[in-house]
Amino acid sequence: MANADLSWIDYDSQHVWHPYTNIKNPTPAFPVKNASGCTIELQTGEVLVDGMASWWSAIHGYNHPRLNEAIKIQLESMAHVMFGGLTHRPATELVQKLIELTPGCLDHVFLSDSGSVAVEVALKMAMQYSSSVYKSSVKQKILTIRGGYHGDTFGAMSVCDPITGMHSLFTSVLPRQIFVDRPKTKFDGIWDESDFEQFETVLSKRRREICAVILEPIVQGAGGMYFYHPTYLKRVREACDRNDVLLIADEIATGFGRTGKLFACEHADIAPDILCVGKSLTGGYMSLAATLCNERVASGISSGDPGLFMHGPTFMGNPLACACAKASIDLLIASDWQKNVLRIENHLSSGLEIMNQLKSVKSTRVLGAIGVVELHQPVDMHLIGAEFVKQGIWVRPFGTLVYVMPPFCINNAELQSLVNGIGLVVSELD
């Protein structure tokens, strides 16, 4: 459109708070005109290959006809109704899908509106379970591993890594949880039993204080993009069982195929007691998350006094989001997603591997449709975005980590653009 009014862009930079930014000296936010397939078109005309899937979520790419249609059809009957005292088919059908597809027997589902809230719900479930079943006000702590990320609300923050998370800003008000070192053995390394000793010791010593363990299975995302060995996760499950402690798996980033399995827990062939999903649940279209739990947790909470689970968001079970999520899951399951994720994994592996020769690069790693280039020095967030835009790609690093997790619909030419663009930008840092 000629002479379109773009004054909103200036207004945005002065008034709109973007994620993790200084409102008085913000890092650039590039204005988007539209997005479709695996590309994002800027107002300034550049068309970028998307490496981020909007933070793990847009697995089918943007503007997908099937997801658009699901929302339009749902909109014809209702956009939203409260979930207290009312129910509807889109929510029930989605819940049925989630129960069918997730590992183990996670038969009860609490819908909420974002990943952080799904984590709060999981923590509250574990704490309410503990007070109902053990009648103890002591067994309320959460054990987790360093290097984790679980969201930005207070409960979630309390289990994020104490250094890379935001603990120092909120020390006086954050609940104090229990941390052990993250596993040393990498995903494809040789398992070393001593890697589990610290976890085992702390859990068995403090089991009377700990109601649950929370972790991101296999892939620690925003806390460091680290991939650890499946046997560690297996040992965690066994130790939780031995010590009467619940296991919460946060699959908000890893769920729905991203790591090459539908859920990352499957790499270790385990099922958690409580599972959080979000992000790609709706194919990245709308904000929706879910916390699933097994019969033990559901009956434990219900047997307490008053037996009600004390949470109820206004937009719980939003019908538009549920209809979209069901369509997204149907689309994923009907596709040959495993082969496709493997194609992305192979392409990223060979493309990123050679960057180990660059001086600025510390290491590279790939798992499923996730590729990481770890640098020796943190990038300059005020400058780096524009460098990637110049290369025609959308990549948003943090700290020393340049990483991609593209939509699964990315083709090989687009993948190669990502690899070439990252290579060029990173080589300029040498």
Burial of 66 (0-12, 13-18, 19+ CB in 10 A): middle
Omega into 162 within 30° of 0, i.e. cis? no
* Cβ distance to ligand PMP smaller for residue 49 or 215: 215
367 binds ligand PMP (CB under 6 A): no
292 binds ligand PMP (CB under 6 A): no
122 binds ligand PMP (CB under 6 A): no
Active site residues: 20, 149, 250, 279
Q: According to CB under 6 A, which residues from 36 to 95 bind ligand PMP?
A: 55
Burial of 307 (0-12, 13-18, 19+ CB in 10 A): exposed
Binding region for ligand PMP (CB under 6 A) out of 31-39, 82-90, 111-119, 397-405: 111-119
Among 116, 128, 144, 158, binds ligand PMP (CB under 6 A): 116
227 binds ligand PMP (CB under 6 A): no
The least CB distance from residue 91 to ligand PMP, in Å, is 19
Among 119, 211, 341, 402, binds ligand PMP (CB under 6 A): 119
The least CB distance from residue 116 to ligand PMP, in Å, is 3
DSSP per-residue letters across 146-166:
TT----SSHHHHHTS-TTTSS
Task: List own/partner pairs for 159-165 with CB under 8 A and 24 or more apart.
Answer: 159/119, 159/123, 159/214, 160/223, 161/223, 161/224, 164/223, 164/224, 164/399, 165/223
The least CB distance from residue 113 to ligand PMP, in Å, is 9
Q: According to CB under 6 A, which residues from 249 to 288 bind ligand PMP?
A: 250, 252-253, 278
Identify any residues that bridge with 394 across adjacent strands, giving them in sequence order. Answer: 50
The least CB distance from residue 148 to ligand PMP, in Å, is 8
Q: Which helix (H) or strand (E) holds 240?
A: helix 230-242
421 in Cβ contact with 387 (< 8 Å) = no
422 binds ligand PMP (CB under 6 A): no
300 binds ligand PMP (CB under 6 A): no
Angle formed at CA 293 by CA 197 and CA 238, multiple of 5 degrees: 20
Site residues (vs ligand PMP, CB under 6 A): 55, 114-116, 119, 149-151, 216, 221-222, 250, 252-253, 278
